[in-house]
Structure formats: C-alpha cells, structure tokens
Amino acid sequence: MASEWGRAATDEELKQSVPTLHVYDHCPFCVRARMIFGLKKIPFKLNFLMNDDVVTPTRMTGKKVLPILELEGAAMSESLDIVAKIDAIGAPILAKAAERKDIDQWLTDNKELIRKVTRPRDARALFPEFATKAARAMWVKNHQLSGTSFEAAFMASEEYLKQLNSKLEKLAEMIHGDTVNEGGVSYDDITLWPNLRRLTIAKGVLWPEKLRKYLLYMEDLCDVPILEVMAI
C-alpha cells in the first residue's frame, strides 16, 4: 500500500464537505457527540480546541461552550441536540431513553466522588486542550473541588478509589450487557458511557467484569478511545 505521507488530496477529496465537531477530550458532554459519529460511521473532522480559546466558540455560538457542531454552514451546541441531529441522518439507530432513574440516581449520588477522583488527574493529564500552561491554568481555576484541593484529593486517592470501586459493583448490576438496556444502543448509553470513560484516567479503578466488557464494547463501537494509556 502506498504511503499517505506527502501525497496531495484528489480533486474528489477536496470537494468533499464533512461536519466539524469541536470538543475537549476530557469533557463527557463532548464525548456524547463523538459517540454518535462512530455509531453511525459518518466521516467528520474532530477538532480539539484549547481550553483558554474563548474567541472561537464565541464566534460560532455567542459564548464559550463545547461541543459545537459545524454542519452545512451552521453551528449548534448542546450535546444531545447534536446527537439527535446526526442520528437523523439516514435511518436513526438510537433507542429512546428508558427513564433509568436507578442509573440517574447513581450518577447524582456519586457526582462529587467522581470529581474527586478525576479532576486532580485531569489537571495533570496530557489532554490536547491543556497543551499550554495558560490553557491548563484556566481549567484548574474554573474547576476547583468543593471542600478540598486537587492536591489533597489526589493524596486521598486510596480512600476515594476504595469508595468508587464499591459503587461500581452496584452500577454493574444495573447494566443489561453490551448496552445499558436490552434492545441495543440507546440514549442511556450516550449519557452513561462518557462518565465511565472519564474514570479510565485513574489508575486503581477496579472494573467489575460486566462493566469492563461494556466499557470496551462501546469504545470499539463508537470509535472513541478510553484513557487508560495515560491513566494517572
């Protein structure tokens, strides 16, 4: 196979217009929007914005917010609106949310614990949106933890991970199998899986077999890599 390096795009390739999705890699809401492109196998351009870039999103939507989808000359935000827009191209594949109040409650109950595990690591990780000191510093300033510091939370990792691992055992009981609900991929997967991907930035998470299988199945299906290769 000939190398792609150094070749020029063909006229046909130059004429092609694909959607552009502007995201942060650490952001679960951005991951939602990335998932639907993988599920639908729709070509798109993935653009990671720097965290301190306020100008680019403001020009597109009037404020600093991501994800942003650029499609056919228009820009739109709100992750689930983007998911619905892309799913409507051709035959929709996502089942409706099943009103999983048990999973919603699990996410609510463990929101602060998840933040204490992930945010101190996010602040150290090699995400493209934190490629400069200024971009990283802005995120750290705007995402401080309630009642503790990043350093203190990181030092308390053993206790927080112990709590989290216990909670994950309970979550595993709520998952149908390869997908959250019986019958295939649904909006419940779109909202849950990004939160689990977020946790893969942390070393020491003990994934129950059922959750681990779900995590990897959706990684492959959606073509959104988990973060274990740079876990801290």
pLDDT tens profile 24-75? 999 999 999 999 999 999 999 999 999 999 999 999 999 999 999 999 899 9
What is the radius of gyration, based on Cα positions, of the chain?
Answer: 19
Place 207 in a pLDDT band, splitting at 50, 70 and 90: very high
pLDDT tens profile 156-171? 999 999 999 999 999 9
Burial of 24-61, coded b for 16+ CB within 10 Å and e otherwise, reads bbbbbbbbbbbbbbbbbeeebeeebbbbbeeeebeebb
pLDDT tens profile 123-158? 999 999 999 999 999 999 999 999 999 999 999 999
Dist. CA 56–CA 36, nearest whole Å: 23
Domains of the chain listed by start with CATH number: 15-87 (3.40.30.10), 101-230 (1.20.1050.10)
pLDDT tens profile 6-29? 889 888 888 888 999 999 999 999
